[in-house]
Structure 1
């Protein structure tokens, strides 16, 4: 099976000559959820913007479904849905109108739209709020509207940046349940989050970025084992959060030169 998303030796950023990302490579298989983790400024959002096509790589290549953006821009963009860290909505439009707009943009048939709308509104406890304008929504409701718009269209790939910000515990549970369902149905998800304890049991693999480079990648167990091989057997039993801090701390102690390559 070929990867759905391939990021190959990506170097890039916001200005020529001052890259944020340095030789970043990873892949996501169909039906796989990958956690993109790292400190603030590590390059997570910049990586996502390159995948979305909002930034052009200085070197390297990104392929989605075997195609680069310049080979078929329409197909490339239609193959993913993006949820940004901060909700971006039109204040005058209602929740329902945002969902209609998303369905129309992705060519979702009316009957399918209606079925998915009912399910998503119930799942995220948004049924009473469907006809509220975005300007009257709480931050959590605005985030739920963004999530519902993405999940409504069922693309092969979801790119989700800090999805839990603003959500209450019930909203977080609903989101995790639905992301897991999408994965089981064959969709791939790239999820960036600082809440490692929340995503640890849901992501199949993790890519740890540090100073714009892939510091280490693998399953939670593989990250523990690689750390244990460097620092002792006790690392095998630590939480992902502890493993994360250990990797980042070791890299900083070594002057930022410790880059894991399988």
Structure 2
């Protein structure tokens, strides 16, 4: 099992945002984290990435906790944030070189992957460009390239479709499927529910920092049989109920 979140409680102040969250992502599985803005998705991801320390509970990636070995823990994870984070003074080439060093990758093998990805995302003639030259979508593609040249066991992807053109969305979904087939685990947060329903193996529905339900689409449809058939219909019905509490 790649990712296991067990009884996670945490947040930004003395009042926890997350309350006893428990879910997992298995090898070769794409799991979608679904919830309204403020439900706790980003806080969950920040804890998994080691950017925040839990008040209680545990997070393990292939049996390793960040308190066991920070470097070993983080090298198993590749992260694509909602807002691209690039270094203004580094070219695209230097971003790739930095990723190779950070993950201790074989240089030739990593560049072979990189050149293929750069061509896929139409960045192959932009290796000497700086971030100031890139659009939001191009910046997102740089993050995708850097993440997918790694040998990460767990990919954490936060709202990946924002700013991407339809062709790039399709290319990203193909990449995710390739990583799944190779045994990697993917946790994806997204509001694009029709795409999530089509491609994800399981769903974790969270609200107010707690897991409402975790399961496959068929299990969710059975559990919320009176709310509709599609993930979008069920999600909207749950959101309306929450707003009237």
Instruction: Please report the TM-score for the alignment, with normalisation by the length of structure 1.
Output: 0.90
Q: 1:252 Cα shift?
A: 4.7
**1:168 matched to which residue of 2?**
165
Query: 2:201 and 2:76 mapped to 1: Cα distance?
Result: 21
Q: Secondary structure at the match of 1:125?
A: coil
Would the aligned equivalents of 1:227 and 1:247 in 2 still touch at CA under 8 Å? no
**2:123 matched to which residue of 1?**
126
- Cα deviation, 1:158-187, whole Å, max 9, x if unaligned, reads 111111111111111111111111111111
1:77 to 74, 78, 87: 74
Higher relative contact order (CA 8 A, sep 6+): 2
Query: 1:129 and 1:200 mapped to 2: Cα distance?
Result: 34
Structure-to-structure mapping, 1:19-34, within 5 angstroms: 19-34=16-31
Q: Secondary structure at the match of 2:125?
A: helix
**1:15 matched to which residue of 2?**
13
Query: 2:103 and 2:200 mapped to 1: Cα distance?
Result: 27
Query: 1:147 and 1:21 mapped to 2: Cα distance?
Result: 28
Number of aligned positions between the proteins = 245
Query: 2:153 and 2:136 mapped to 1: Cα distance?
Result: 27
**2:240 matched to which residue of 1?**
249
Query: 2:107 and 2:208 mapped to 1: Cα distance?
Result: 46
Structure-to-structure mapping, 1:57-96, within 5 angstroms: 57-96=54-93
Query: 1:125 and 1:43 mapped to 2: Cα distance?
Result: 34
Q: Secondary structure at the match of 1:175?
A: helix
Hey, which bits of structure 1, 4+ residues long, moved more than 4 A?
none
Q: 1:249 Cα shift?
A: 3.0
Query: 1:154 and 1:196 mapped to 2: Cα distance?
Result: 28
Query: 1:94 and 1:106 mapped to 2: Cα distance?
Result: 19
Task: Flag structure 1 segments of 5+ consecutive residues without an equivalent.
Answer: 256-262
Q: 1:250 Cα shift?
A: 3.7
Q: 1:80 Cα shift?
A: 0.2
Q: Secondary structure at the match of 2:237?
A: helix
Q: 1:153 Cα shift?
A: 0.8
Asked if 1:216 corresponds to 2:181, the answer is: no
Asked if 1:148 corresponds to 2:135, the answer is: no
Q: 1:102 Cα shift?
A: 0.2
**1:5 matched to which residue of 2?**
3
Tell me which moved more, 242-251 or 19-28.
Answer: 242-251
Would the aligned equivalents of 1:92 and 1:135 in 2 still touch at CA under 8 Å? no
Instruction: Please report the TM-score for the alignment, with normalisation by the length of structure 2.
Output: 0.96
Would the aligned equivalents of 1:4 and 1:65 in 2 still touch at CA under 8 Å? yes
Asked if 1:194 corresponds to 2:191, the answer is: yes
Q: Secondary structure at the match of 2:198?
A: coil
Q: Secondary structure at the match of 1:112?
A: helix
Q: 1:83 Cα shift?
A: 1.1
